[in-house]
């Protein structure tokens, strides 16, 4: 019963990716599966006794709650239950949601989705004065900023580590965290100003970054916070650039193609994905004047 004694849960996900938030079975299994490569002890525990582990926990279902709007009552704020305030469509919030799922924290951290178009006033007044998502209520404090939050969730909650110990990987991770803003700005400004070469160079940099470590298809070889940082944005940019600019970001970029494929094997991520058509419509609306 090693898997039980160390407290990891295995959930089985029966959903297909891209379903909009509704009744969704949840899972940390796929992420844990990748994690097994990094955590030998866990590997032994879970792989030796998969049937027992699954039986012990059963298959859990996370019913994704409806988004709260201006007519909704607030949840019990500061009642001791950690809460992750998100919007289902926000890529920054999605980062934190993925991190929470990857750690297997579906039962410890309650998701509180907010309707950003019709925000409840109590969110700004009582929860997070900047009025943005994501934010995390934990230990009687509310923190924000997705990059800070994914690190915080990784360091302050139980579950498999999402950041490697290897100093060279950690150093590269910091570079990639810093690079994210330039990457996203280059792509977004290319949409607004038709500076397509900037976007091409940005995706080439991603391809080069993905070539650095050869022990897996992820940015640091194995899955980490870096993949979580980039995933939600590449999820949105890929269908948009394909449809609107007829530009396939994976053409000639085998590493990026492999990364996308691997990401789509991670259920802790795929349960957070939205329909690409929804991304397309959002981006079209956002950039309608430049298209």
3-state secondary structure of 90: coil
The residue among 89 and 222 lying less far from ligand GSH, judged by its C-beta, is 89
Compute how many other C-beta atoms are within 10 angstroms of the C-beta atom of residue 51: 7
Applying CB under 6 A, does 145 fall inside the site for ligand GSH? yes
Handedness of CA 244, 250, 94, 167 (dihedral sign): negative
Smallest separation, CB 147 to ligand GSH (Å) = 6
d(CA 28, CA 25): 10
Q: Where are the alpha helices (DSSP H) in the chain?
A: 2-5, 29-36, 40-48, 50-57, 91-102, 121-122, 146-156, 167-193, 196-210, 225-245, 254-263, 267-270, 276-286
183 part of the interface to ligand GSH, by CB under 6 A: no
Given 33, 132, 236, 253, the residue binding ligand GSH (CB under 6 A): 132
Q: Provide the mask over 77-96, with x wherever binding to ligand GSH is found by CB under 6 A and - wherever it is not.
A: ----------x--x-x----
Query: CA 8, CA 198: separation in Å to the nearest integer?
Result: 44
Closest separation in Å from C-beta 229 to ligand GSH: 10
Phi-psi region of 94 (alpha: psi -120 to 50; beta: other; left: phi over 0): alpha
| Closer of 41 and 117 to ligand GSH (Cβ) | 117
Identity of the residue, 87 or 270, whose beta carbon is nearer to ligand GSH in the bound complex:
87
Task: Check residue 146 for interaction with ligand GSH (CB under 6 A).
Answer: yes
CB of 6 to ligand GSH, least distance (A): 32
Q: Residue 252 region, left (φ>0) first, then alpha (ψ -120 to 50), else beta?
A: left
In whole angstroms, how close is the CB of 68 to ligand GSH at the nearest point?
14
When asked if residue 236 is in the footprint of ligand GSH (CB under 6 A), the reply is no
Question: Could you tell me the maximum CA-CA distance found in the chain, to the nearest angstrom?
Answer: 59
Member of 15, 81, 131, 264 binding ligand GSH (CB under 6 A): 131
**Contacting positions for ligand GSH (CB under 6 A):** 87, 90, 92, 116, 131-134, 144-147
């Amino acid at each position: 019963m090693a898997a039980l004694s160390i407290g990891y849960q295995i959930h089985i996900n029966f959903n297909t990716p891209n379903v909009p938030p509704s009744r969704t079975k949840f899972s940390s299994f796929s992420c844990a599966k990748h994690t097994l490569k990094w955590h030998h002890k866990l590997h032994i525990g879970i792989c030796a006794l998969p049937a027992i582990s699954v039986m012990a926990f059963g298959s859990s279902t996370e019913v994704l709650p409806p988004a709260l709007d201006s007519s909704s009552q607030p949840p019990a704020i500061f009642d001791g239950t950690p809460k992750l305030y998100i919007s289902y469509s926000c890529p920054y919030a999605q980062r934190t949601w993925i991190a929470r799922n990857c750690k297997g924290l579906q039962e410890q951290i309650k998701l509180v989705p907010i309707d950003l178009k019709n925000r409840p006033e109590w969110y700004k007044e009582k929860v997070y004065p900047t009025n943005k998502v994501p934010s995390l209520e934990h230990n009687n404090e509310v923190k924000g900023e997705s990059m800070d939050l994914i690190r915080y969730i990784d360091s302050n909650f139980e579950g498999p580590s999402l950041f490697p110990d290897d100093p060279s990987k950690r150093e590269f991770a910091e570079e990639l965290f810093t690079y994210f803003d330039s990457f996203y700005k280059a792509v977004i400004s290319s949409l607004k100003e038709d500076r397509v070469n900037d976007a091409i160079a940005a995706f080439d940099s991603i391809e080069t970054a993905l070539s650095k470590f050869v022990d897996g298809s992820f940015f640091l070889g194995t899955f980490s916070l870096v993949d979580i940082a980039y995933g939600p944005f590449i999820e949105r940019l890929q269908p948009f650039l394909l449809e609107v600019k007829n530009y396939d970001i994976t053409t000639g970029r085998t590493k990026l193609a492999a990364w996308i494929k691997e990401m789509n094997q991670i259920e802790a991520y795929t349960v957070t994905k939205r329909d690409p058509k929804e991304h397309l419509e959002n981006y079209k609306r956002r950039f309608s004047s430049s298209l």
